[in-house]
């Protein structure tokens, strides 16, 4: 089932085109990672999909129904966790979750059960009476998530939910998102952290300059580019290296030396390790550790857009 169908969405701010004929289709049950640098239009796209922003052109359907500011029947099925933490500082953890859940669930007994489940889900059982200002950054993010998912939405949109949190909280949040998906939720996860998207997304959309520039699974995206493995070699006498000779090897895309570390990128499908080792042996270069890494989403983004993912 098609959960979200966005066609030719255009959003302008004066002369700036924030969304340039943006198209997006999200299938039921998937985790769609929306990946792109800051300023690529991710948050603008999400706000338009939620009818929080007016747009100049295009159409948006959610569950086969046109999305609009007053489409409350659709909105009851959506949970939103925005980049900026949005909770009430005067309310406790429990009161915050109860309030946001109450926007969708009027029955008190049902709401009480859902709030308890949300608190347990994000691991805030020991903090229910705390005010937000007493929580760490990671716990505050967990509270933000609990407020967005307590009413058991079928579609969950998370916009940069792990910004400025510690590694332990980040792992907890990512594991929670995967669990929500396993329980049946369709998820859109926006981020400019490629590692997170690579970890949880079943399909990835790369966005830049207001449009989707590549779409596919993790492996499909990596097959789109010419870059192959990155070969890392520790050189024990790096000062004697003839780097230009390494660069001249066929199918080598790049070779960079930093201190005693040589990093060589080869074309996809080409295994040049033996040739590189032979060249280093001919130059009488002593080698320490050697390991290779497959291409990353950052390589995909860099080759497609010509700039780093986090630019």
At 73-128, the pLDDT tens digits run 999 999 999 888 999 999 999 999 999 999 999 999 999 999 999 999 999 999 99
Q: What is the arithmetic mean of pLDDT over 132-155?
A: 94
H or E element, residue 108: helix 108-122
H or E element, residue 188: strand 186-191
Residue 16, phi then psi, degrees to nearest 5: -85, 125
Crossing angle for the helix pair 137-149 and 108-122, to the nearest 10 degrees: 140
Which of 192, 222, 252 is the last residue before a domain boundary? 222
* Per-residue pLDDT at 164 exceeds 80: no
Q: Are residues 264 and 160 in the same domain?
A: no
Q: Are residues 87 and 205 in the same domain?
A: yes
Q: What is the arithmetic mean of pLDDT over 179-185?
A: 94
pLDDT of 310 reads: 55
Please indicate, yes or no, if residue 302 is contained in any of the structural domains.
no
pLDDT of 270 reads: 62
pLDDT of 273 reads: 85
Q: Are residues 212 and 273 in the same domain?
A: no
pLDDT digits (tens, 9 = 90+) for 210-228: 999 999 999 899 888 887 7
Cβ contact 108:114 at 8 Å: no
Please indicate, yes or no, if residue 58 is contained in any of the structural domains.
yes
Query: Measured between alpha carbons, how far apart are the two ends of the chain, in Å?
Result: 35
d(CA 191, CA 185): 19
Which of 222, 237, 263 is the last residue before a domain boundary? 222
Residue % of the chain over a pLDDT of 90: 69
Please indicate, yes or no, if residue 24 is contained in any of the structural domains.
yes
pLDDT band for position 54 (cuts 50, 70, 90): very high
Q: Could you tell me the CATH number of the domain that includes residue 90? A: 3.40.50.300
Q: Are residues 16 and 35 in the same domain?
A: yes
Please indicate, yes or no, if residue 309 is contained in any of the structural domains.
no
pLDDT of 1 reads: 87
Q: Which structural domain range is residue 257 located in?
A: 227-294
* Per-residue pLDDT at 307 exceeds 70: no
pLDDT of 47 reads: 94
Q: Are residues 23 and 96 in the same domain?
A: yes
pLDDT digits (tens, 9 = 90+) for 220-264: 998 888 877 889 999 999 999 999 999 999 889 899 999 899 999
Q: Are residues 257 and 126 in the same domain?
A: no
Cβ contact 120:150 at 8 Å: no
Nearest-CA neighbor of 243 among 227, 262, 267? 262
pLDDT digits (tens, 9 = 90+) for 264-306: 998 876 677 889 999 999 999 999 999 988 888 888 878 887 7
pLDDT of 272 reads: 79
Query: What's this model's pTM, rounded to 2 decimal places?
Result: 0.84
Q: Could you tell me the CATH number of the domain that includes residue 242? A: 3.30.70.100
pLDDT of 308 reads: 61
Q: Are residues 216 and 93 in the same domain?
A: yes
Q: Are residues 254 and 211 in the same domain?
A: no
Q: What is the arithmetic mean of pLDDT over 62-69?
A: 96
pLDDT band for position 309 (cuts 50, 70, 90): low
Q: Are residues 199 and 263 in the same domain?
A: no
> 107 Cβ partners below 8 Å, 6+ apart?
none
Which of 201, 222, 243 is the last residue before a domain boundary? 222
Please indicate, yes or no, if residue 251 is contained in any of the structural domains.
yes
CA distances (Å), 81 to each of 67, 132, 159, 291, in order? 19, 16, 6, 39
Q: Are residues 41 and 60 in the same domain?
A: yes
d(CA 14, CA 50): 22
Please indicate, yes or no, if residue 170 is contained in any of the structural domains.
yes
Three-state SS for 277? helix
Please indicate, yes or no, if residue 310 is contained in any of the structural domains.
no
Q: Are residues 65 and 155 in the same domain?
A: yes
Number of domains in the chain: 2
Q: Are residues 151 and 78 in the same domain?
A: yes
* Per-residue pLDDT at 207 exceeds 70: yes
Q: Which residues of 72-87 are buried (b: 16+ CB within 10 A; e: fewer)?
A: eebbebbbbbbbebeb
Three-state SS for 156? strand
pLDDT digits (tens, 9 = 90+) for 20-35: 999 999 999 999 999 8
């Amino acid at each position: 089932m098609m959960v979200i169908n966005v066609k030719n969405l255009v959003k302008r701010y004066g002369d700036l085109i924030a969304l340039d004929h943006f198209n997006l289709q999200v299938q039921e049950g998937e985790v769609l990672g929306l990946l792109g640098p800051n300023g690529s239009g991710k948050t603008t796209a999400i706000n338009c999909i939620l009818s929080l922003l007016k747009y100049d052109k295009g159409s948006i359907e959610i569950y086969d129904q046109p999305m609009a500011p007053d489409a409350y029947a659709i909105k009851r099925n959506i949970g939103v966790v925005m980049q900026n933490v949005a909770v009430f500082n005067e309310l406790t953890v429990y009161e915050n979750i109860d309030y946001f859940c109450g926007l969708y669930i009027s029955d008190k007994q049902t709401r009480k059960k859902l709030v308890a489940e949300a608190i347990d889900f994000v691991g805030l059982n020991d903090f229910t009476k705390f005010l937000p200002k007493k929580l760490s950054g990671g716990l505050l993010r967990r509270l933000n998530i609990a407020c967005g998912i307590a009413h058991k939405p079928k579609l969950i949109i998370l916009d940069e939910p792990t910004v400025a949190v510690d590694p332990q909280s980040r792992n907890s949040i990512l594991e929670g998102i995967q669990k929500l998906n396993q329980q049946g939720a369709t998820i859109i996860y926006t981020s400019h952290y490629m590692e997170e998207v690579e970890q949880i997304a079943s399909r990835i959309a790369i966005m830049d300059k207001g449009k989707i520039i590549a779409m596919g699974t993790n492996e499909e995206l990596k097959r789109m580019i010419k870059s192959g493995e990155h070969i890392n070699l520790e050189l024990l006498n790096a000062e004697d290296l003839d780097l230009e000779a390494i660069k001249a090897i066929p199918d080598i895309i790049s070779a960079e030396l930093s201190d005693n570390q040589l990093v060589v990128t080869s074309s996809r499908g080409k295994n040049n390790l033996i040739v590189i080792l032979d060249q280093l042996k001919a130059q009488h270069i002593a080698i320490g550790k050697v390991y290779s890494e497959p291409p990353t989403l950052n390589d995909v983004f860099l080759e497609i857009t010509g700039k780093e993912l986090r630019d």
